[in-house]
Amino acid sequence: MMNSGFDRESTLELLKFSDDLPSLPDRFVRIQQVIQDPESGADDLARIIRSDQATTAMILKFANSPAYNPTHTPIGELSKAIARIGSRETAHIATTMSLMYGMILPTGMANIRSFWAHAFGVATVCEHLARLVHPAEQQCHERAFMTGLLHDIGRAALGMRVDFSYFERESGHMHGEPLIRFEEAYYGVNHAEAGMQLLRLWLFPDDIFTAVGEHHNPDCPHFLARICYQANAFCNDHVPEHTGIEALPATIAQALADHPVDLSTLTA
């Protein structure tokens, strides 16, 4: 263990958030309610999105990006943008934005954007893999997306609760196994475990927090953990680090075409 001033016991104590558990952003909760309510539709989603300028602007950016606008026909209205992108995709983008603006990560906006762009990218690939393996199970696709979106939430937990300089140290720019080794040496706890702990406190279903806890373990038998491991490695290898969120659908579609994922480890 590095002489960092942190140790496993004190890190775990801080990660209990005993006195000040950060709440899930209000907009995040409202979007999940709309998604899960069979009575609600695109209008309800539009109402939540419209109440926030940054999210509205992002939905319009997506609708006008190459992936959704191959004929270069610009759209300036939210309702038309949602119709073009589709309700499910719109909800995914809005969910990502709700976390990006609703959680205070102790770092600059460029790091915050790339953190959530990576999360959205991994979520998109997770959902894609879940669809390939279990085409008819829509609930599984949604859980795969949510697992991908939250897979690195432990980095946010470490930054918000344990070390305000987390994103400014080497840990802010590392990935994969070197990051896990650094965190274990420096904090005594890695971000997968920290994320699992936070999602448990937030009362997420156990298949999601288990998958987040195991997303750096290639041998985990758990399906969501396996697709998250693959999706994370895929994005680290094939999606350039500073790709903007709105450019990800086209970038990922191209990367998946150029480097098809081996599904044999997911179906074994």
The footprint of Fe ion (CB under 5 A) covers 152, 232
> What's the min distance (Å) between Cβ of 27 and Fe ion?
23
Who contacts 201 (Cβ-Cβ below 8 Å, separation ≥6)?
16, 17, 21
> What's the min distance (Å) between Cβ of 122 and Fe ion?
6
Residue 59 or 228 having the CB closest to Fe ion: 228
- Distances in Å between the Cα of 43 and the Cα atoms of 39, 46, 112 are 11, 5, 29
Residue 152 or 163 having the CB closest to Fe ion: 152
> What's the min distance (Å) between Cβ of 26 and Fe ion?
26
> What's the min distance (Å) between Cβ of 128 and Fe ion?
16
The total number of residues shown for the chain amounts to: 268
CA 191 to chain centre: 14
Contact assessment for residue 237 and residue 175, using Cβ atoms and an 8 Å cutoff:
no
Q: How far apart are CA 90 and CA 66, in angstroms?
A: 16
Residue 232 or 243 having the CB closest to Fe ion: 232
Residue 152 or 214 having the CB closest to Fe ion: 152
Q: How far apart are CA 229 and CA 65, in angstroms?
A: 28
